[in-house]
Structure 1
Amino acid sequence: MNSDAPLTEDRLRQGAEALAAMDPDLAPLLARFGTPPLWPREPGFATLVQIILEQQVSLKAAKTLFERLEQALGGVAPATVLHAGESGLKAQGLTRQKARYCHELARRVNEGELPLEQLTQWSEPEGRKALLAVPGLGPWSVDVYYLMALRRPDVWPQGDLALAAAMQDVKGLETLPTRDQQQQLSEPWSPWRAVAARLLWVHYLAARGNYAGGTAPAAHPS
């Protein structure tokens, strides 16, 4: 079996069971909540725009803004974003910075500099390098795209605050783990780190009374 093959519901369950068997701190999460949601996103331009909008704001606010943009532009695609221009994006509520990020992303995709449809055929280092070259797409954003849109099984979102809080709870840490500590703590969960992230997101949401079984995780970079 290809270890980089996209997660399916069956592979998600397999990974969750493997994690519960190897880590006694994760086993209670699977016992309590069952297999976590897959939380899949459609690969492509619109999802990258949505991830940019989610940076440093609540997911609810980002969703509202994305839906407003979608309605105003007649769909979130490179052509519609380029037609709107940065001023048109700002008119729909985007900050100057995010309008610039989305417009530049649209330009690169439209001109073939960033062929998103080829990412699944590229090695992960190649794909990450291409995405990280786009202004506004940092390590956390790229990790979330690989984890949710491309559904890679062994991705750990760098510096995610919700995961840091969940790790602190589950591992009984005195303080929030730093980015480096998160990386170290997550290494034993390979090749299922993306599954571990989903288990921990469920714990984070449930601990705050926000888990309804399908709610998207409250993921944000530190």
Structure 2
Amino acid sequence: MAALTQARFAGAVAALAAADADLGAVVDAFGPPPIWRRPAGFPTLALLILEQQVSLASAKAACDRLTEACGGTLAPASVLALDDTAMRAAGVSRQKTRYIRELAGAVTGGALRLDRFGRADDEAVRAALTAIVGIGNWTADIYLMMALGRPDVWPVGDLALQVAAQAVKRLPTRPGPETLDGLGEAWRPWRAVAARILWHYYLNTVRQRRGETRT
């Protein structure tokens, strides 16, 4: 399926809200969610690695410092030129330093061809990304959704999505990946849009007091 445009996204939000009363209630309460797109390429993947298991705000701050250390452009070769001291000064942990260097090396060495992702299907992109140390299904799914605009990606390992699904669907416990996978079947072929509606709920309820936003 073609990548989401703003018009197709708006149509999918309307279709999901009409078909599912619970999603419709979220849209009625908070309005349509943002599309939350990011540029495709190395900088977005590096930021997604930095976002693993930390707040979006702290990850962005580290990414901004890393970009500054690279001379204003977060490029694979620039990252590989930084030593451990420079990475620590940017606020990048030892583990994530390794992951970002693995990614940069794969891109510069030609093992990971990001320019070919636009023509590849979701599973091929996911397989290529998760072959890189430090990139798991969550990182691959968010890249597919936000950088490539794929409409039917469903990131079942996302904690915020699980919390929101429990609340919106009034489930007795927080759904794990297997339960969330089954729940998402009703929202094909727009599961990535349903995820944004659920994130929209999460950010307007659970995270509202913290002032954290998804970008």
* Both structures adopt the same fold (TM-score exceeding 0.5): yes
Give the Cα–Cα distance (whole angstroms) in 1 for the partners of residues 98 and 89 of structure 2: 13
CA deviation map 1:95-133 (0-9, x unaligned): 111000000100110011101011111222222111010
Gaps of 5+ in 1: 218-222
8 Å contact 1:165–1:176 — kept in the other structure? yes
Q: Report what 2:37 is aligned to.
A: 40
Gaps of 5+ in 2: none
Stretch moving more, 106-115 or 124-133: 124-133
Aligned with 2:172: secondary structure?
A: coil
Give the Cα–Cα distance (whole angstroms) in 2 for the partners of residues 159 and 176 of structure 1: 12
Output aligned runs, 1:1-222, within 5 Å: 4-74=1-71, 75-208=73-206, 210=208, 215-216=213-214
Give the Cα–Cα distance (whole angstroms) in 1 for the partners of residues 203 and 132 of structure 2: 31
8 Å contact 1:153–1:194 — kept in the other structure? yes
8 Å contact 2:69–2:86 — kept in the other structure? no
8 Å contact 2:144–2:153 — kept in the other structure? yes
Give the Cα–Cα distance (whole angstroms) in 1 for the partners of residues 33 and 100 of structure 2: 31
8 Å contact 1:52–1:137 — kept in the other structure? yes
Give the Cα–Cα distance (whole angstroms) in 2 for the partners of residues 207 and 92 of structure 1: 32
Aligned with 2:96: secondary structure?
A: helix
The one-letter code of the counterpart of 1:150 is L
Give me the CA root mean square deviation.
1.9
Give the Cα–Cα distance (whole angstroms) in 2 for the partners of residues 128 and 208 of structure 1: 29
Aligned with 2:57: secondary structure?
A: helix
Aligned pair count? Answer: 214
CA deviation map 1:158-201 (0-9, x unaligned): 21111111111111111101110111101110000011011111
CA deviation map 1:51-72 (0-9, x unaligned): 0000011101001000011111
Give the Cα–Cα distance (whole angstroms) in 2 for the partners of residues 126 and 142 of structure 1: 11
- Give the 4+ runs in structure 1 shifted more than 4 A: none
